[in-house]
Amino acid sequence: MDTIVTDSYKEYVYQKWLNKDWGLDLHEFPESTIRPNRPRASENSILFLVEYLIGVHMRGKFSERDRKLFISAVKAIESHDGSGGKIKGLYDRGSEESLLSKDKIRTISHDNLTAIASFSFLIGENFHKDIYEHGKRNFWRFDNVYPENPRLSRVLHPRDILFISLVGGGCIARNIARFSLPILCLIQILSCIKTYKIRPKLHERIGNFFRTGKWEEGRRIIHTDGKILTFVRTYSVLMRKNYWFLSWGGYLCHLILKDKFGKNYLHRMFEIYFKDDGHPVRHVFQDTSELLWWESYLDGYKNGFA
């Protein structure tokens, strides 16, 4: 019996960690703060919620209430057009941000789009299809600041276009993405090999220099976010459909990460990412080494499972 994710623990997360948009935040909220009044302390709360729910799903504890929570969180951050109507497949960092003045809107990131598309595909919702349709209509520009005239700078990375086409596209787009899976797998393997990243990025430091006249040295930090997204994508797809390249690419990532972070590498990566010792994502990924799906899926593939 799983004693890590109990009904009482899930209730605690619902009561203490969800912000006003139903997303999972970085820190527990004070006892006196009720959910509708809780600010968003993170710009990635939908990503954190998906990571938590995947941990719950891995342990076989995913419930209808969890499904409704995910749906509520995604619908809460759907972007608005100029007339105030909602735009399917495009999202804000926080609820109704696209109704603010342009200078106050935070652009949506590929991390959040990937999280929504991945988990929607995993549990059989339609948000991944909405994201694909929006991308196709707008030449893969996801711009919640200027949704009527999206900027070229908001074009998704080819890796993300490939993945969203795989999970959300029609027959032709899905098959093109399937034949391009070696590219996606290679990108993911390289991300798993990479140990460090520099923040702020070079172009951000150059921009800051021209604005302030001061040069900021880059800080070398352990690269975990790309590895975590690799896990989110691969888990969500392989739990529903066995793609040969994704299975073996995922297994190579598994070996690389096991070598870098140890047998329980998922928990270690989330320990590095989330600084709060009590964060729910860290909690649900305790002792997950025995729950990894790679070997069982590869064995199933060898035995004709598809």
pLDDT reported for residue 197: 81
Query: Residue 220 — φ and ψ, nearest 5°?
Result: -90, 120
pLDDT reported for residue 150: 97
- HEC assignment per residue over 83-102: CCCEEEEEECCCCCHHHCCH
> How buried is 227 (Cβ within 10 angstroms: 0-12 exposed, 13-18 middle, 19+ buried)?
buried
Structure tokens at 31: 């006892």
Structure tokens at 145: 């600041």
How far is 130 from 251, CA to CA, in rounded Å? Answer: 30
Q: What is the pTM of this model?
A: 0.91
Residue from 132, 134, 183, 190 nearest 161 by CA: 132
The set of residues, in sequence order, having a beta carbon less than 8 Å from that of 304 and lying 6+ positions away, is none
| Cβ 105 vs Cβ 145: under 8 Å | yes
Distances (CA, A) of 271 to 37, 63, 109, 231: 28, 25, 22, 15
Domains of the chain, residue spans:
7-302
pLDDT reported for residue 260: 94
pLDDT reported for residue 209: 82
The set of residues, in sequence order, having a beta carbon less than 8 Å from that of 237 and lying 6+ positions away, is 118, 121, 122, 166, 167, 243, 246
pLDDT reported for residue 293: 54
pLDDT reported for residue 48: 98
pLDDT digits (tens, 9 = 90+) for 2-11: 789 999 999 9
pLDDT reported for residue 130: 98
- Please list the ranges in the chain whose pLDDT falls under 50: 297, 300-306
The set of residues, in sequence order, having a beta carbon less than 8 Å from that of 157 and lying 6+ positions away, is 110
pLDDT reported for residue 288: 79
How far is 138 from 151, CA to CA, in rounded Å? Answer: 10
pLDDT digits (tens, 9 = 90+) for 259-306: 999 989 999 999 999 999 999 999 999 987 766 655 554 554 444 433
